[in-house]
Amino acid sequence: TYWTTRANSAPPTFLSEPVLIQAGSARSSRSDPYASHFGVVADDTGHLHLAILDDSSMRYLRYSMLDGTWSAPRTVDFGGASSYPQIGLANGQVQLAVSLSWRGGAVSLSNDYGDTFTPAFTLRTPTAPEGVSYKTPRLESASRSSGTLAILQQYEDNKLQRLMVYKVPVP
């Protein structure tokens, strides 16, 4: 992942030299079609929280506004191959959500600005009736939410793309 910045007051053509954020490397024997998916959110202090995938593992990094550096990438374990990472702030906590393919998904929360993550919720898909597939379930969540966190999951119903909603209680 290449990261570049510009001041809000700078013209759109001005970009700093890109910084390569290398969280790992995909195994050469397998291409990772989800590696291009990432999420980023800014907290109230201006720090950035970044979720990216590395060979189906969720990697988390934080950008410090204090010294302008990225933390070392850390793996957040969801107990299996992850895809479609989502990151946001839910009731002031950093929330990470991932799709776990046909098994649904999972949500982890951090109440210490990303220093630690705790598994919080499992997103379970209902039994698939004839014609319904959860094979590539993209997740989407709000970058900021209060109260119950809504997470949308894509699925296929007789060749039509549909969305189901998970209502996740966040303390």
C-alpha to C-alpha distance for 141 and 148, rounded to whole angstroms: 11
pLDDT at residue 151, as a whole number: 94
* Residue 29: predicted pLDDT: 45
Q: Which stretches of the chain drop beneath a pLDDT of 70?
A: 1-6, 12-36, 102, 136
pTM assigned to the model: 0.82
pLDDT 10s digits, 13-30: 666 666 666 655 555 445
pLDDT of residue 103: 74
